[in-house]
Amino acid sequence: MINDDKPLLRITQEGVFAYGTPWDGKHRLSTNISAPLAGICILRRGNDNSIRMITAREACPMLLQQCYRPIDAGVLAVTVMVLEELKKKTNFYELFCNISQEAVEVAYNGMKQE
């Protein structure tokens, strides 16, 4: 587990990489490592487990909610530019799930690289 809340993302010519930070989530799971980012999955609570690939446009509201949003307009413009680059370089998914083992399998099978 790189980070159970908000890992840092670095965008390079080779792709997007996720980095662990000391600022983890409620489960206190973080590791000082990095790995290529294969995709971003938006989690939604659901009675049934299902996953679908979504467009960057569909993912945008959640990305804006979850990223650092500075007050300064100039710095905010840079944040938006970074999000635009991220949208070009990764896949996005929406997972409706409960807390079952099946949810884990649906997520894995829906996002694994062919």
61-90 pLDDT, tens per residue?
998 888 888 889 999 899 889 999 999 999
Cβ pair 79, 11 in contact under 8 A: no
9-55 pLDDT, tens per residue?
999 999 999 998 888 777 777 788 899 999 999 999 999 999 999 99
Beta-carbon contacts of 101 under 8 Å, excluding residues fewer than 6 positions away, are: none
Q: What local confidence, expressed as pLDDT, does residue 70 receive?
A: 86
For the chain, the straight-line distance linking the first and the last C-alpha, in angstroms and rounded, comes to 22
Domain ranges of the chain: 1-37, 38-114
What is the bridge-based pairing of β-strands 39-45 and 15-19? Answer: unpaired
